[in-house]
């Protein structure tokens, strides 16, 4: 869903969008870290034979706790933080060139309107909403889908 952010609503909507996204991340992050942890352990068993052999050879003991905790834990936390950062960073307006006479926004380069051929000198702010709760928020603020 692509919505136009008018100057009157834009900052208020963006603040609410970020708050809602952060709230969702706080709810889902306890599940995200164990999932990433499990994926890293599966990856280690699948493709990490050399590393597992090296760890068992170097310590000369059964160092499975090291494989289960020390290696995947920081990677899982780091991966989860990066995913959270990317999801929050997504909550920003994107300035798109706009033709006032045709009332059309277009990313195409060069910045010439594909309908009337005039140069597109203005920009309008748009937000690309991918999750259902984002779309619900846009409907709450009265923003309409302008993907067409
Ligand atoms: Zn035009």
CA-CA distances (angstroms) from residue 129 to 10, 53, 94?
Answer: 14, 46, 12
Residue 127 within any structural domain of the chain: yes
**Rounded distance from Cα 117 to ligand 1 centre (Å):** 6
Tell me what pLDDT residue 7 has.
Answer: 85
In a domain, 76, yes or no: yes
**pLDDT for res 136:** 92
Distance 148 CA to ligand 1 centre (A): 15
Confirm whether 95 is domain-assigned: yes
Annotate 53-66 with b (16+ C-beta within 10 A) or e (fewer): eebeeeeeeeeeee
Distance CA 137, CA 76 (A): 30
Q: Ligand 1 center to residue 106 CA distance, Å?
A: 10
Whether 148 is in a domain gets the answer no
Q: Report the C-alpha gap between 86 and 25 in whole angstroms.
A: 11
% of the chain with per-residue pLDDT over 90: 16
Has this prediction a pTM greater than 0.85? Answer: no
102 CA distance to ligand 1 centroid (A)? 4
Is 41 among the domain residues? Answer: yes
Q: Give pLDDT tens digits for 122-140.
A: 888 989 898 899 999 999 9
| Per-residue pLDDT, 60 | 65
What is the count of structural domains for the chain?
1
**Per-residue model confidence as pLDDT tens digits over 43-89:** 888 887 787 777 777 776 666 677 777 778 888 888 888 988 998 99
Q: Taking a C-beta distance cutoff of 8 angstroms, is the pair 90, 126 a contact? A: no
Asked whether residue 147 is assigned to any structural domain, the reply reads no
Which domain does 10 fall in, by range? 2-140
66 in any annotated domain: yes
Give a yes or no: residue 129 inside a domain.
Answer: yes
Ligand 1 geometric centre to CA of 121 (Å) = 11
Distance 88 CA to ligand 1 centre (A): 34
Residue 110 pLDDT > 90: no
């Amino acid at each position: 869903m692509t919505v136009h952010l008018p100057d009157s609503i834009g900052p208020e909507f963006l603040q609410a969008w970020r708050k809602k996204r952060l709230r969702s991340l706080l709810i889902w992050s306890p599940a995200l870290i164990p999932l990433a942890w499990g994926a890293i352990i599966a990856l280690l068993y699948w493709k990490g034979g050399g590393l597992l052999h090296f760890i068992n050879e170097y310590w000369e003991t059964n160092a499975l706790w090291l494989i289960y905790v020390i290696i995947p834990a920081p990677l899982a936390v780091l991966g989860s933080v990066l995913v959270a950062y990317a999801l929050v960073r997504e909550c920003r307006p994107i300035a798109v060139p706009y033709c006032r006479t045709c009332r059309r926004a277009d990313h195409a380069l060069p910045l010439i309107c594909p309908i009337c051929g005039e140069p597109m000198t203005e920009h309008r702010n748009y937000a690309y909403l991918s999750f259902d709760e984002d779309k619900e928020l846009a409907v709450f603020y009265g923003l309409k889908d302008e993907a067409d």
